Amino acid sequence: MDGSDLNRMANQIADFFAASGDGEAAKGVAAHIRSFWEPRMRQGLYRLVDAGGEGLDPLVIEAAAALRKADKAAAGAA
C-alpha cells in the first residue's frame, strides 16, 4: 500500500472522529487504526509523519504519536 492510500484512509478516519471533540477525536483515530490497521500499515503511517506529515490531518499526526508510543511500549514488553 502506498503512502497516498494511507494518507487518504487516515484522513477519512480523522474526518469521522473530528466531531468527537478535541480530547476524544485523536483517541478515536488512534483506537481505530490500532484495531483495524496491520503493523505494516502503521509503520507506513509513521514514515509519512516522519517525512513531514504533508497532507495529513493534525488529528492523524497526534494519533500516530500515541500509537507509536504504544507500539514501542508493547515491543519493549515482549
Q: What is the pLDDT of residue 21?
A: 77
Q: Domain residues of the chain, as ranges?
A: 3-77
Q: b/e for 20-46, b at 16 or more Cβ within 10 A?
A: eeeeebbbbbbbbbeeebeeebbebbe
For helices 58-77 and 22-36, the axis angle rounded to 10 degrees is 50
Ordered mean pLDDT values, 10 residues apiece, the chain (78 residues): 91 95 89 96 96 96 96 84
pLDDT at 78: 66
Output the pLDDT for position 31. Answer: 96
Predicted confidence at residue 23, as pLDDT, reads: 76
Record the pTM: 0.90
pLDDT for 66 equals: 95
C-alpha cell belonging to residue 51: 517525512
Q: What pLDDT shows up at residue 67?
A: 96
